[in-house]
Amino acid sequence: MTEKPVQEEKRVFMTGNEVCAWAAAAAQAEIMYGYPITPQNEIMHYWTRLAPKYNRDFLQTEDELSAGFTTAGGIMAGKRAFTATSGPGNILMQEPFSMAEAMRLPTVAIIQQRGGPSTATVIYSQQEVTMTSLGGNGEGLRIVYSTATHQELFDYTIKAFNTAWKYRFPTFVLADGYQAKMRESLKMYDPEAKGIKMVSTEPYVGKEGVPGVDRDPGHFRNTYNVEEELYEVLEQYIEDYDKMAPEVAEYEEIGSQDADVVVISHGVVSRAAKGAVQELQKQGYKVGYFRPITIRPLPVNEIRDIANSAKKVMVVESANGQLDRLIKEKVYGCNAEMIPFFKPGVGITTEEVESRLKELF
Amino acid sequence: MTVQPAMPMSWRRETKPHKFCPGCGHGLVLKVLGQAVDELNIQDKMVFGCDIGCSLLAWDFFNVDSIQTHHGRTTPVITGMKRANPNLIGVAYMGDGGGYAIGSQHLVSAATRNEKITVILVNNTQYGMTGGQMAPTTLPGQKTETSPYGRDVSKTGNPTLGPEMVNAITGEGAYVARGTVSKVNKLKEYIKKALENQINGNGFSFVEVLSACPTNWRTNAEKTWKFLEEEMAEYFKVGEFKVPGSREEEGQSNG
Amino acid sequence: MGKPWKIVLAGEGGQGVQSVAGILADAANDQGREALYIPNFGVEQRGGVSVAYLQIGDEPVGAPKFQTADIIIALSDRAVTRTTRYTGPDTVFVYDSGIENLKDEDLPTGVKKILAIPALDAAKRELHPRVFNVIIMGAVIKATGVVPEEKAKEALEKKLGYKFEQKPELRDMNFKAIERGAELVAEAL
């Protein structure tokens, strides 16, 4: 047996892309399918260096359609398979992800957001929130973890595989170009040593026995002949999703329950929001911080509580209101005034959030 | 009394009669595929992938694990599956639109990489499921819903020669052939060889099948057969294009 | 303790600002401090101004980029123009006195201190043009104290040790470059 990629817990200092590759290896991912696009390339670079040492596999495909569909194929063969992409690549992958939704395939994809629309920048944005959460011609039956630190990139990449295989919905780790390219410290560990048991995988096709003789054949499809047939399937899926939602929804907060103004942000922007809130709390402002870690499904009850107890809720993001739309849908009928602070495609600093917040008092 | 011809063992009786139109060539292709599966005894190892288009109607055709995918995307799904579990026998079943238009990059790339999968592409010169539009394989002058005055090659190019293309880009170990539903014995031989080639781990296997679509061609039995055997077969040459190691092996056994 | 040092290093592609930032970040991390280093990247990576954002402190670092730097080191005329936006009343602005075409009005105003150091000149005359960026590293260390000189040398050793093994004189030259950078800042202060 090959040894584990990460054995003893150790502090490391590396880029986010390298973290993702190590986390996938630690999570016993077996095969990655990928296609080059900045800023996620180094996930493939590190994975292809790690993979042969730990008996894992990699396929570089002809495009992101293929990367997504080969991932689906790998999963149907029963392997813990994953892919990674960004921007225009994420657009192409919406097609395979929609098939994954339709067929309940536990695909895992790491999205390193870049600027949009179109080619835009290879650098950074939070503009792939809508697409990653709700892309495809469907209902967004997906799980999206939005990470803020390298530690979370490691933790949630591992968790993504378990959530995906437990609930069988496509699962995403949504980060961005900053997280992909920056270096900071984190602790890597072997999940099992931390009591995290990897949810076991199982093949959809190629199970034991002769189909039609020893067992029924697995006939997997995403096409239905009549409306009612589809409706019945979707009703079950949506029921499963709604039941799952409170079990997987996660958040982080600081003093959000008794604040006059609460900042809601996600991902790397929440580092700026958190810094600003902590500084202002020191100065005596009644300000709170709330950050959904799962932007789909959202921690709905907590968000509604805030929107009922706070006077103002400011949503901060490097997009023109993509998180804001998701939040507003959930806070319909609540009391708080919603304040936008949107900088599409541009990083947001602690100083900016701080000065904007002060204007609200 | 009428005698029902025996169904291949690997067919799923519960889903017969099948969903294809009367006179459609798919049934014939799937019959010889079923016979080949029986003879090679791979019912437990084979995974049948089908595309969007009429091929999707085969999603529950066999007593074989089956995956119905998206238009053009059966090749990558089966590729990904085969890479993840090389013990499986992957068959990607599609039409000419799926293989030569929307999924052409996948066909070309899988062929170039010599993926150890079998692609069976049914060529009936147009898009059947969507109602008879022009396809890459539509013959010069042929009328379709989107070429109502006949295909103008000066504007839309010449019909795709798939096996010729795949032959040009595949390396050692590939198997490439074009068969026709008008010669089912030969077709069965090709499909069986294409499967054996995968079983032996040689490389990419590709069989294009000339097939008939009387529904969209709006032809009676006689005209259907004539179009298939004369017009199609004249443009699309039937035969084997690449057979791995055959000459050497035969030479040795004969000598 | 308290807030991390916010450092901006900027220069022309090839001047080695990214490797300096990387080595400093490594040195700080090895010392058990918290560092966050983010390069600018994208199309500007080639043929543009290369900017490295570095934060070093004792608590986990917040947002990766910032509005106001504690110290800026600019190594070309374009780098000076580009980094002026990161200045504030508490910023120490360091630039190379050998930058050609730099006019006084290009330099930022209202900062805590402006230091001109002859790093390029020292590299050319006293050591080797290739260690210019290491002199800059020495200067940053002296000006900020984010890592001790010894730690920086260890980090250099880690990064370039294989080269030093082949050519021991390279080690001396790099270590001297750190010391020289520190001296230049000390003189300018």
Q: Do chains B and A touch (3 or more CB pairs under 8 A)?
A: yes
Amino acid at B145: E
Question: Judging by beta carbons within 10 Å of its beta carbon (0-12, 13-18, 19+), is residue B133 exposed, middle or buried?
Answer: middle
Query: What are the CA-CA distances from residue B220 to residues A49, B122, B123, C48 (Å)?
Result: 60, 20, 19, 69
**Tokens at residue B206, please?**
């590709």
CATH 3.40.50.970 is the classification of domain A10-194: yes
Write the residue in C37, C40, C42 that is nearest to A183 by C-beta: C37
Residue carrying structure tokens 């799962």: A294
Contact C142, C182 (CB under 8 A): yes
Write the residue in A74, A209, A222 that is nearest to B81 by C-beta: A74
Residues in Cβ contact with C117 at an 8 Å cutoff, skipping those fewer than 6 apart:
C94, C95, C96, C97, C139, C181, C184, C185, C187, C188
Instruction: Please judge whether A206 and B65 are an interchain contact, meaning their C-beta atoms are less than 8 angstroms apart.
Output: yes
Q: Which residue of A has its CA nearest to C21?
A: A183
Q: What is the pLDDT of residue C101?
A: 87
Q: Name the residue among A118, A132, A205 with its Cα closest to residue A169.
A: A132
Q: CA of C103 to nearest chain A CA: how many angstroms apart?
A: 30
- Chain pair A-C, CB pairs under 8 angstroms: 68
Question: Judging by beta carbons within 10 Å of its beta carbon (0-12, 13-18, 19+), is residue A199 exposed, middle or buried?
Answer: middle
For the domain that residue C109 is a member of, what is the CATH number?
Answer: 3.40.920.10
**CATH 3.40.50.920 domain extents, chain A:** 253-359
Q: What is the pLDDT of residues A63-121, one digit of tens each?
A: 999 999 999 999 999 999 999 999 999 999 999 999 999 999 999 999 999 999 999 99
Taking contacts as CB-CB distances below 8 angstroms, the residues of chain C near A268 are 63-64
**Tokens at residue B70, please?**
């998206």
Does A360 score more than 50 pLDDT?
yes
Does A247 score more than 90 pLDDT?
yes
d(CA A109, CA B111): 26
Instruction: Please judge whether A184 and C34 are an interchain contact, meaning their C-beta atoms are less than 8 angstroms apart.
Output: yes
Residue of A35, A56, A60, A70 to mutate, testing the B interface (most B Cβ within 10 Å of its Cβ): A70
Residues B11, B16, B21, B23: is their CA dihedral positive or negative? positive
d(CA A1, CA B189): 43
Instruction: Please judge whether B80 and A65 are an interchain contact, meaning their C-beta atoms are less than 8 angstroms apart.
Output: no
Query: What are the CA-CA distances from residue A333 to residues A141, A312, A325, B159, C80 (Å)?
Result: 25, 14, 14, 60, 51
Instruction: Please judge whether A69 and B60 are an interchain contact, meaning their C-beta atoms are less than 8 angstroms apart.
Output: no
Q: Name the residue among C134, C132, C125 with its Cα closest to residue C153.
A: C134
Other CB atoms within 10 Å distance of the CB of residue B115: 27
Longest Cα pair distance anywhere in chain B, in angstroms?
Answer: 57
Does B254 score more than 50 pLDDT?
no
User: Is residue A228 classed as helix, strand or coil in its secondary structure?
Assistant: helix
Write the residue in C25, C41, C68 that is nearest to A183 by C-beta: C25
Instruction: Please judge whether A181 and C41 are an interchain contact, meaning their C-beta atoms are less than 8 angstroms apart.
Output: yes
* A169-A173-A175 Cα angle (round to 5): 155
Taking contacts as CB-CB distances below 8 angstroms, the residues of chain A near B108 are 62
CA B229, chain centre distance (Å): 17
Phi and psi (nearest 5°) for A154? Answer: -65, -50
Write the residue in C42, C43, C64 that is nearest to A182 by C-beta: C64
Taking contacts as CB-CB distances below 8 angstroms, the residues of chain A near B60 are 217, 219, 221
Residue A10 at interface with chain C, using a CB cutoff of 8 Å: no
**Tokens at residue A342, please?**
């949107």
CATH superfamily of domain region B21-254:
Thiamin diphosphate (ThDP)-binding fold, Pyr/PP domains (3.40.50.970)
Q: Name the residue among B147, B90, B142 with its Cα closest to residue B119.
A: B90
Residue carrying structure tokens 């959930």: A330
Start-to-end Cα distance in chain C: 23
d(CA A52, CA A153): 23
Other CB atoms within 10 Å distance of the CB of residue A251: 16
Taking contacts as CB-CB distances below 8 angstroms, the residues of chain A near C61 are 184
Query: What are the CA-CA distances from residue A57 to residues A37, A82, A191, B163, B191 (Å)?
Result: 20, 11, 20, 30, 30
- Chain pair A-B, CB pairs under 8 angstroms: 145
Tell me the residue range of the domain where C84 lies: 5-188
C neighbour chains, 3+ CB pairs within 8 Å:
A
Q: What is the pLDDT of residues A129-176, one digit of tens each?
A: 999 999 999 999 999 999 999 999 999 999 999 999 999 999 999 999
Q: What is the mean pLDDT of residues A6-21?
A: 97
**Sheet of strand B175-180, all strands in order from the earlier edge strand to the far edge:** A219-220, B65-68, B46-50, B89-95, B118-123, B205-210, B175-180, B239-242
d(CA B24, CA B231): 17
Options 3.30.530.20, 3.40.50.920, 3.90.850.10, 3.40.50.720; CATH of A253-359:
3.40.50.920
Q: CA of A180 to nearest chain B CA: how many angstroms apart?
A: 26
Q: CA of B227 to nearest chain A CA: how many angstroms apart?
A: 31
Which string of DSSP letters, residue by residue, matches B25-50?
A: SHHHHHHHHHHHHHHHT-TTTEEEEE
Taking contacts as CB-CB distances below 8 angstroms, the residues of chain A near B10 are 212
A neighbour chains, 3+ CB pairs within 8 Å:
B, C
**Tokens at residue C133, please?**
């960026």
Provide, rounded to the nearest whole percent, the portion of chain A with pLDDT above 70: 99
Residues C40, C119, C101, C74: is their CA dihedral positive or negative? positive
Q: What is the pLDDT of residue C189?
A: 81
d(CA A211, CA B45): 9
Amino acid at C129: P
Q: Name the residue among B167, B243, B237, B191 with its Cα closest to residue B29.
A: B191
* B180-B184-B186 Cα angle (round to 5): 80
pLDDT in tens, chain C (189 residues): 478 999 999 999 888 999 999 999 999 999 999 999 999 876 655 668 899 999 999 999 999 999 999 999 999 999 999 999 999 999 999 999 999 889 989 999 999 999 999 999 999 999 999 999 999 999 999 999 999 999 999 999 999 999 999 999 999 999 999 999 999 999 988
Q: Do chains C and B touch (3 or more CB pairs under 8 A)?
A: no
Residues B89, B95, B100, B101: is their CA dihedral positive or negative? negative
Total structural domains within chain C: 1
Taking contacts as CB-CB distances below 8 angstroms, the residues of chain A near C25 are 13, 183
d(CA B46, CA B67): 11
Residue A13 at interface with chain C, using a CB cutoff of 8 Å: yes
B 45-74 near A (Cβ less than 8 A): 45, 47, 52, 56, 59-60, 62-70, 73
Q: Name the residue among A130, A92, A108, A181 with its Cα closest to residue A317.
A: A130
Does A234 score more than 50 pLDDT?
yes
Provide, rounded to the nearest whole percent, the portion of chain B with pLDDT above 90: 93
d(CA B224, CA B211): 10
Q: What is the pLDDT of residues B6-55, one digit of tens each?
A: 899 999 999 999 999 999 999 999 999 999 999 999 999 999 999 999 99
Instruction: Please judge whether C64 and A348 are an interchain contact, meaning their C-beta atoms are less than 8 angstroms apart.
Output: no
Does B253 score more than 50 pLDDT?
no
Contact A147, A182 (CB under 8 A): no
Instruction: Please judge whether A181 and C38 are an interchain contact, meaning their C-beta atoms are less than 8 angstroms apart.
Output: yes
Write the residue in B10, B59, B76 that is nearest to A70 by C-beta: B76
Question: Judging by beta carbons within 10 Å of its beta carbon (0-12, 13-18, 19+), is residue B124 exposed, middle or buried?
Answer: buried
ipTM comes to 0.93
Write the residue in C26, C41, C63 that is nearest to A350 by C-beta: C63
Taking contacts as CB-CB distances below 8 angstroms, the residues of chain C near A269 are 63
The residue ranges of every structural domain in chain B are: 21-254
Provide, rounded to the nearest whole percent, the portion of chain B with pLDDT above 70: 94
Query: What are the CA-CA distances from residue A273 to residues A134, A156, A279, A317, B127 (Å)?
Result: 25, 21, 10, 10, 54
Q: CA of A117 to nearest chain C CA: how many angstroms apart?
A: 16
d(CA B163, CA B123): 11
Residues in Cβ contact with B38 at an 8 Å cutoff, skipping those fewer than 6 apart:
B8, B9, B10
Contact A314, A262 (CB under 8 A): yes
Residue A291 at interface with chain C, using a CB cutoff of 8 Å: no
Residue of A12, A13, A266 to mutate, testing the C interface (most C Cβ within 10 Å of its Cβ): A13
Contact A335, A260 (CB under 8 A): no
**CATH 3.40.50.970 domain extents, chain A:** 10-194
**B239 Rama class: left (phi>0) / alpha (psi -120 to 50) / beta:** left
